[in-house]
Amino acid sequence: MLIDNIKSLIFFIIAGFFEIGGGYLIWSWLREGKGFSFAILGAILLVLYGIIPTLQPANFGRVYAAYGGIFIALSVLWGWKIDNVKPDQFDIIGMCIALIGVFIIMYWPRAT
């Protein structure tokens, strides 16, 4: 069970980097005038992002609901480390609340 949860978290993190990274490359192409290769690489990453969640051990709705919280946390971290926008206390609080939601949705024990 613990190994499955760790694998699930790894899939979420990989999906998050593919989605945020792909979106960032598309953003860079359209908003910052980067080359078309940024758009192509961004599109590839976004397609891979669409595949990774299918490896999760839960249904579509639950996976994507929980992924929203992961996306929030990774976006705050991306902004901090890539765009040099240091999160404030409200960013951190919101991120923690979102992650609590992830753990409840995906990993809270349920009666079967």
Domain ranges in the chain are: 2-107
Contact yes or no for 62/70 (Cβ under 8 A): no
pLDDT per residue as tens digits for the range 31-85 = 999 999 999 999 999 999 999 999 998 999 999 999 999 999 999 999 999 999 9
- Which phi and psi (to 5°) does residue 84 adopt? 55, 40
Q: What is the pLDDT of residue 111?
A: 84
Q: What is the pLDDT of residue 47?
A: 98
pLDDT per residue as tens digits for the range 42-51 = 999 999 999 9
Give the Cα separation of 5 and 38 in Å (integer).
Answer: 33
What is the DSSP-derived secondary structure letter of residue 86?
-
| pTM assigned to the model | 0.87
Helix, strand or coil, per DSSP, at residue 33: coil
**What is the Cα gyration radius of the chain?**
15
